[in-house]
């Protein structure tokens, strides 16, 4: 018996036959072996990564960072005062150093207008860069230390997830942490050390999916069906993304981060990095759709064991169409939100709308959105097909119908008798050539003879209305002289 977990938290038991379970397990084991081989083959070269990191300096020599607490913030400069280079008294902040050799000293630093209008106030903790020239230390504003509010927000997120989803929510948070570790320890160093971007992204995705799905949704055949559909969706996304990015002649230099990477490491294949980004970006939506479809197939089979596989498939597809339609909006608006500042910059260009769509910046976002969307759309029917073929076929319901033979009509079952049990020593009743238990429950009828007891009235004694018995084998009954009187 395969005990599975549904997407909504209700567990439905469906007995999966040995053959589809074995085929599914063997397929997933083979993919897992390929994933392990890929991890071993493309494991990042830490020495090469550290060498590359050491060649790129974040700050100039002699610059160190110290922490300070803001004591006061001046009013932000107006547009007219910003144009005046000699303007003073605005866009400045005073802070007291809390680290370094000048701890306790209050210094004044300049801040940008956006930072001055962002709500910076006394008591905020900031980071200042310290440069020492000719024995004199000079400080400049670097950034705000946002550790405490970010930690509070993450803690609130974890509390909400665990409070609502309980153990499954906790496992989802742990799976998310594992996914972050894979990205930080394998994906990014693997890309920096020269591994094939698409291959490293595929291996990372498969590694994440195996751990995240089974830890969050349980080790079951239902989860295996969702995993198989997700892996198929990832493969489709990678294929569509590779073809579309190559066909669109995207170079990967459409964003500022791409240009920075190109200047720091000329050997990076930025076009392959776009494919890797498309693969990773589509994992969440794929997982959501496939686990829902697997749960839909399982629930339909659980509530309708006599339903045909085709009807189960059609019912799950009707559920999946609504889900896919809403997921497409999720993907598109997620990309729009991530590229909102880019869209604002492009909006300022003096070009037509359709010409802007073909620029490197916009074309990259469109290709990423469409490739991920195609992967999600096709993963839904793939998962539904795998699930419909995995769950058992239709079965009859003994409590509703009995089939005596394939070509005999359906016979409704006899209702159980709720009468009293016979007293001790009750003699059996002869209803034929065999002795039966009498007119009480659990007395099977003899073929060719009336059923005893509660299945029908007991036959009347042989005789006329006067109670006179008929002599067996002696003429017609009743005799003329012993029949009923006529008026």
- Mean pLDDT is highest, among 32-41, 120-129, 346-355, 476-485, for 32-41
Please indicate, yes or no, whether residues 105 and 206 belong to a single structural domain of this protein.
no
How far, in Å, CA of 254 to CA of 339, rounded? 12
Q: At 90, which CATH number?
A: 2.40.50
Domain that holds residue 318: 2-45+166-390
Please indicate, yes or no, whether residues 235 and 375 belong to a single structural domain of this protein.
yes
How far, in Å, CA of 6 to CA of 17, rounded? 19
Determine the pLDDT at residue 347. 74
Runs of H (alpha helix) within 265-359: 270-281, 283-303, 309-338, 340-347, 353-357
Q: Do the beta carbons of residue 238 and residue 198 sit within 8 Å?
A: yes
Residue 208 domain-assigned (yes or no): yes
Residue with tokens 């059609």: 314
Question: Rounded mean pLDDT of 332-339?
Answer: 79
End-to-end CA distance of the chain: 77
Better-scored residue on pLDDT, 204 or 395: 204
Residue 286 reports pLDDT greater than 60: yes
Determine the pLDDT at residue 399. 40
- Total domain count for the chain? 2
Burial zone of 180 (CB within 10 Å; 0-12 exposed, 13-18 middle, 19+ buried) = exposed
Residue 341 reports pLDDT greater than 70: yes
Express each pLDDT in 462-472 by its tens digit: 555 555 555 55
Q: What is the mean pLDDT of the chain?
A: 77
Domain boundary among 144, 176, 194: 144
Please indicate, yes or no, whether residues 333 and 189 belong to a single structural domain of this protein.
yes
Question: Rounded mean pLDDT of 196-202?
Answer: 90
Please indicate, yes or no, whether residues 273 and 373 belong to a single structural domain of this protein.
yes
Better-scored residue on pLDDT, 482 or 388: 388
Domain boundary among 372, 390, 408: 390
Please indicate, yes or no, whether residues 199 and 227 belong to a single structural domain of this protein.
yes
DSSP, res 125: E
Please indicate, yes or no, whether residues 130 and 251 belong to a single structural domain of this protein.
no
Better-scored residue on pLDDT, 368 or 205: 205
Residue 80 reports pLDDT greater than 70: no
Determine the pLDDT at residue 466. 53
Determine the pLDDT at residue 332. 81
Domain boundary among 112, 144, 176: 144
Determine the pLDDT at residue 6. 41
Question: Rounded mean pLDDT of 339-350?
Answer: 75
Burial zone of 201 (CB within 10 Å; 0-12 exposed, 13-18 middle, 19+ buried) = buried
How far, in Å, CA of 340 to CA of 152, rounded? 26
Determine the pLDDT at residue 234. 93
Residue 374 domain-assigned (yes or no): yes
Determine the pLDDT at residue 261. 72
Please indicate, yes or no, whether residues 203 and 89 belong to a single structural domain of this protein.
no
Express each pLDDT in 46-71 by its tens digit: 777 777 665 556 666 678 888 998 88
Please indicate, yes or no, whether residues 250 and 328 belong to a single structural domain of this protein.
yes
Residue 470 domain-assigned (yes or no): no
279: phi > 0 → left, psi -120 to 50 → alpha, else beta; which? alpha
Please indicate, yes or no, whether residues 180 and 137 belong to a single structural domain of this protein.
no
């Amino acid at each position: 018996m395969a005990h599975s977990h549904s997407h909504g938290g209700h567990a439905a038991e469906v007995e999966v036959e040995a053959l589809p379970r074995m085929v599914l397990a063997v397929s997933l084991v083979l993919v897992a072996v390929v994933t392990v081989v890929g991890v071993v083959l493309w494991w990042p070269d830490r020495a090469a990564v550290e060498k590359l990191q050491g060649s790129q300096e974040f700050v100039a020599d002699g610059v160190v960072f110290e922490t300070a607490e803001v004591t006061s913030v001046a009013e932000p400069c107006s547009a007219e005062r910003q144009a005046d280079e000699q303007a003073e008294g605005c866009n400045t902040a005073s802070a007291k150093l809390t680290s370094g050799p000048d701890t306790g000293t209050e210094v004044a630093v300049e801040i940008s207008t956006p930072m001055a209008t962002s709500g910076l106030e006394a008591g905020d903790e900031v980071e200042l860069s310290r440069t020492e020239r000719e024995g004199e230390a000079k400080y400049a504003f670097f950034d705000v230390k946002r550790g405490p509010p970010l930690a509070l927000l993450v803690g609130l997120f974890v509390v909400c997830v665990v409070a609502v989803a309980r153990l499954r929510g906790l496992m989802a948070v742990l799976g998310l942490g594992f996914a972050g570790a894979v990205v930080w320890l394998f994906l990014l160093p693997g890309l920096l050390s020269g591994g094939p971007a698409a291959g490293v992204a595929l291996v990372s995705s498969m590694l994440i999916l195996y751990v995240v799905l089974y830890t969050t949704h349980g080790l079951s055949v239902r989860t295996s069906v969702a995993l198989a559909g997700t892996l198929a969706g990832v493969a489709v996304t990678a294929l569509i993304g590779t073809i579309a990015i190559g066909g669109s002649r995207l170079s990967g230099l459409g964003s500022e981060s791409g240009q920075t990477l190109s200047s720091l490491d000329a050997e990076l294949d930025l076009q392959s990095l776009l494919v890797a980004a498309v693969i990773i970006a589509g994992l969440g939506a794929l997982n959501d759709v496939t686990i829902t479809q697997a749960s839909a197939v399982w629930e339909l089979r659980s509530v309708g064991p006599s339903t045909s596989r085709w009807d189960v498939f059609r019912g799950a597809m009707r559920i999946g169409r609504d889900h896919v339609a809403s997921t497409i909006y999720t993907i598109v608006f997620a990309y729009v939100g991530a590229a909102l500042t880019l869209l604002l910059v492009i909006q300022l260009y003096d070009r037509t709308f359709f010409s802007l769509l073909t620029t490197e910046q916009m074309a990259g976002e469109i290709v990423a959105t469409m490739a991920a969307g195609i992967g999600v759309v096709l993963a839904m029917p793939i998962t539904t097909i795998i699930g419909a073929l995995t769950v058992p076929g239709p079965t009859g319901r003994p409590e509703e119908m009995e089939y005596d033979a394939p070509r005999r009509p359906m016979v409704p079952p006899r209702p159980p008798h709720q009468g009293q049990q016979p007293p001790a020593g009750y003699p059996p009743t002869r209803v034929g050539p065999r002795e039966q238990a009498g007119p009480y429950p659990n007395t099977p009828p003899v073929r060719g003879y009336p059923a005893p007891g509660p299945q029908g009235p007991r036959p009347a004694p042989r005789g006329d209305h006067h109670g006179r018995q008929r002599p067996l084998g002696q003429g017609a009954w009743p005799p003329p002289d012993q029949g009923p009187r006529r008026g």
